[in-house]
Amino acid sequence: MELLLPFAALLIFLVLGFPIAFSLGTAGIIGILSITGDVKVLMSMVGLVTFDAVASYILSAVPMFILMAFLISSGGLATDMYRAAYNWTSNIRGGVAIGTVFACGIFGAMSGASLAAASVMSEIAIPNMRRLGYSEVLTGGVVSIGATLDILIPPSILFVIYAIMTDTSVGKLLLAGVIPGITLGIFLIICILIWVSIRPQDAPRAERVAWSERWRSSYRIWPCILLIFIVIGLLYAGVATPTEVAGLGAFFAGLIGIMLRRLTWAGALQAFKGTVRISAMIFMILIGAYIFGYFMTLSGIPQKVIDAVYAMNLNRWVVIIAICVSYFIFSMFMDELPLMLIYLQITFPLILKLGFDPIWYGVVMAIMIMMGFVFPPVGLICFVVSAAGKMDLAKVYKGSSILIIAIVMTLVLLMIFPEIALWLPSTMK
């Protein structure tokens, strides 16, 4: 009974719409108190856990990556990326949608905040695709799925949080997402080409762009290439830590915006405000998750799960597939970050016991989160695309539900060939 009470409390809080950080923290406090029965012990544990949750040097990379994303948006670099991608791909059917995928991928290599990518790319790409006569179903689906590339391609805020929660190398995790991210982009392009071949009316041919304009727009994205080199190059070379890379990325994003005379005082202030707001939300959720995790440790639930699975004598691939399916089901009804934090408390010790690589599992978890971000009824990215692009939410859901095939194909390929995620980190200096 003492183990069921915290989970029941968590479910009730979430159903009633309480903040996620409050729900996790309060449910954890109820669990710790029900096990220890001592208020003094409870207060001591909560104080210690709260400090440990956020007093991490590595965690300072999170606000820096978020700030970098906001400064890129305020500095107009996202518009340059989209224009260059559009100019090079617009001459083929579905090319504007493919260009949007490229732009999302490049934006992902400079930021790491998928919701920010969804908002920025919706404001840039959707009006243009609507002007060219693209169907709203295809448009909404492309922008939604494309925005999830930020979760895999470094710098990824989610990988930083995963690394902190599991004591895994941040640098290797960030690099592990590169090849799966590129693979997803390729699968997404293939899905778009198949879509427009079946329904050409959803993607009319756009006007042909002159070669001179193509090269001119390509020249304008040199700041984007510079930022990508700074972020990925320094990580791979091992010259700087992920936290230092995040700080340098935010600094150069602001410096480039100033040099191009696009970053205004108002834009910078808005970027800092957005960074503080989102960082505070993430930190509060982490505190709540740590408190809940302490209850899980005291209760011995992870070990009981391991014992139960071993008693069933199941193949380890059956277990990992069951984890993915159950996660996908729960993601339909719960926000992704807290769900990941709860799932890690239960499944990560089991994953290690079964002999899976923690870095590989981090990429698998990231792909599962991507699916939850774009699948109804929650699908947070779909909400952002619908609001920012002034589109019917049902059409956005329909498009993302079709193109989610690209994410599923990436996950299957990663299951069959784990080296897709593990090769690049293994060559890291």
pLDDT digits (tens, 9 = 90+) for 49-96: 777 777 777 778 888 888 887 887 777 777 777 778 778 877 788 888
Instruction: Round to whole Å and give the CA distance between 187 and 151.
Output: 16
Which among 169, 151, 177 is positioned nearest to 238, based on CA atoms? 169
Which among 162, 58, 75 is positioned nearest to 110, based on CA atoms? 75
Please classify residue 317 by burial: count the beta carbons closer than 10 Å to its beta carbon, then call 0-12 exposed, 13-18 middle and 19+ buried.
exposed
What local confidence, expressed as pLDDT, does residue 36 receive?
81
Domain assignment of residue 290, yes or no: no
pLDDT over 80 at 273, yes or no: yes
List the end-to-end C-alpha distance of the chain, in Å, as a whole number: 50
pLDDT over 60 at 1, yes or no: no
Q: Which amino acid is at 337?
A: L
pLDDT digits (tens, 9 = 90+) for 223-259: 777 877 777 788 777 777 888 888 888 888 888 888 8
What local confidence, expressed as pLDDT, does residue 277 receive?
83
Domain count for the chain: 1
Tell me what percent of the residues of the chain surpass a pLDDT of 70.
Answer: 96
Categorise residue 112: left if φ over 0, alpha if ψ from -120 to 50, beta otherwise.
Answer: left
Dihedral sign (CA 179, 181, 187, 190):
negative
- What range defines the domain where residue 361 resides? 58-281+300-426
Instruction: Round to whole Å and give the CA distance between 255 and 243.
Output: 18
Domain assignment of residue 147, yes or no: yes
Instruction: Confirm if 404 and 378 have CB atoms less than 8 A apart.
Output: no
How sure is the predictor about 407, in pLDDT bands with cuts at 50, 70 and 90? very high
Domain assignment of residue 20, yes or no: no
Domain assignment of residue 19, yes or no: no
Least confident among 38-42, 136-140, 312-316:
38-42
pLDDT over 90 at 194, yes or no: yes
How sure is the predictor about 421, in pLDDT bands with cuts at 50, 70 and 90? very high
Domain assignment of residue 2, yes or no: no
What local confidence, expressed as pLDDT, does residue 356 receive?
92
The radius of gyration computed from the CA coordinates of the chain, to the nearest angstrom, equals: 22
Domain assignment of residue 286, yes or no: no
Domain assignment of residue 252, yes or no: yes
Tell me the three state secondary structure of residue 417: coil
pLDDT digits (tens, 9 = 90+) for 352-381: 888 899 999 999 998 988 888 888 777 778
pLDDT over 60 at 97, yes or no: yes
Instruction: Round to whole Å and give the CA distance between 292 and 295.
Output: 5
Instruction: Round to whole Å and give the CA distance between 2 and 250.
Output: 46
What's the mean pLDDT when you consider all of the chain? 83
Token pair 């991928």 in the structure block, residue: 105
Token pair 């990215």 in the structure block, residue: 381
Instruction: Confirm if 104 and 150 have CB atoms less than 8 A apart.
Output: yes
Instruction: Round to whole Å and give the CA distance between 119 and 143.
Output: 9
Domain assignment of residue 12, yes or no: no
Model's pTM, two decimal places? 0.82
pLDDT digits (tens, 9 = 90+) for 127-154: 888 888 889 999 999 988 988 888 888 7
